């Protein structure tokens, strides 16, 4: 991957079959260079989440790819994960850093808010996810605009992740102003996620 290209950050589906998804994840990781995977299950079943974490960790460790879990701070050490992704912006970043230590990855989703993103960075986040970038009926429907990313890339040192309702045209547009693209449903809804991922990478130019 070219040094000036954004890196790829994969987000798992909110639910998946444990006997199928690890192979799909492995194929995606083998298709192109990936910096990080976020386990983002919607389930509140501790046993299920734990088994999913172990299965994904086996795949990511073999490929030297970081694995973070969404919100479940206490499962990071228990399952040998690399860190946590917080979905509520800056609120718990200092606490997570205190609990996990300086070596753990702590990231946060900050919606389309420049202020929340800056607060997360100031609190010690290793990266900040901003989005959705594309049109989405989810949450408030507010989009993160190109100008926010352009300003961030000029002013803020904390890495920024473009996320949400991405397509090839948006990836081409934002490639010069973001550090990472987070891809989830954009690839997992496809019959061949690895091929879909390669198409998105190619769109960076």
Domain spanning 7-203: which CATH class is it, in words?
A: alpha beta
Q: At what angle do helices 114-123 and 93-100 cross, to 10 degrees?
A: 30
Residue 141 has pLDDT above 90, yes or no: no
Banded model confidence at residue 3, pLDDT cuts 50, 70, 90:
low
Q: What is the pLDDT of residue 117?
A: 97
Return the H-helix or E-strand segment holding 147. helix 146-155
CA distances for 111 relative to 17, 85, 103, 191, angstroms: 28, 13, 25, 29
Residue with tokens 């040998």: 80
Residue 160, CB half-sphere, CA atoms under 13 Å: how many? 30
Beta bridge partners of 144: none
Q: What is the pLDDT of residue 139?
A: 61
Residue 109 has pLDDT above 80, yes or no: yes
User: Do 158 and 121 form a contact (C-beta atoms < 8 A)?
Assistant: yes
Q: What is the pLDDT of residue 2?
A: 44
Domains of the chain, by residue range, sit at 7-203
User: Do 93 and 123 form a contact (C-beta atoms < 8 A)?
Assistant: yes
Beta bridge partners of 70: 85
Banded model confidence at residue 1, pLDDT cuts 50, 70, 90:
very low
Could you tell me which of 108, 205, 102, 202 has the C-alpha nearest to residue 159? 108
Mean pLDDT of the chain: 95
Banded model confidence at residue 136, pLDDT cuts 50, 70, 90:
confident
**For the residues 83-103, what does the mean pLDDT come to?**
96
**For the residues 130-144, what does the mean pLDDT come to?**
84
pLDDT in tens, 31-46: 999 999 999 999 999 9
């Amino acid at each position: 991957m070219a040094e000036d290209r954004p890196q790829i950050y994969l987000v798992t589906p909110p639910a998946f079959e444990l006997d199928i998804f690890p192979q799909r994840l492995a194929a995606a990781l083998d298709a192109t260079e990936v910096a990080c995977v976020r386990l983002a299950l919607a389930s509140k079943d501790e046993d299920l989440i734990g088994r999913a974490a172990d299965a994904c960790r086996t795949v990511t460790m073999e490929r030297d790819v970081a694995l973070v879990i969404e919100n479940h701070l206490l499962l990071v050490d228990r399952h040998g994960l690399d860190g946590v992704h917080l979905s509520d912006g800056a609120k718990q970043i200092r606490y997570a850093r205190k609990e996990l230590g300086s070596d753990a990855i702590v990231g946060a989703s900050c919606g389309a808010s420049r202020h929340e993103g800056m607060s997360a960075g100031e609190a010690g986040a290793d990266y900040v996810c901003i989005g959705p970038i594309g049109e989405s009926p989810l949450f408030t429907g507010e989009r993160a605009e190109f100008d926010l990313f352009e300003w961030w890339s000029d002013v803020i040192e904390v890495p920024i992740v473009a996320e949400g309702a991405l397509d090839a045209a948006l990836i081409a547009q934002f490639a010069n102003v973001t550090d990472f693209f987070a891809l989830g449903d954009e690839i997992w809804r496809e019959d061949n996620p690895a091929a879909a991922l390669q198409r998105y990478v190619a769109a960076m130019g």
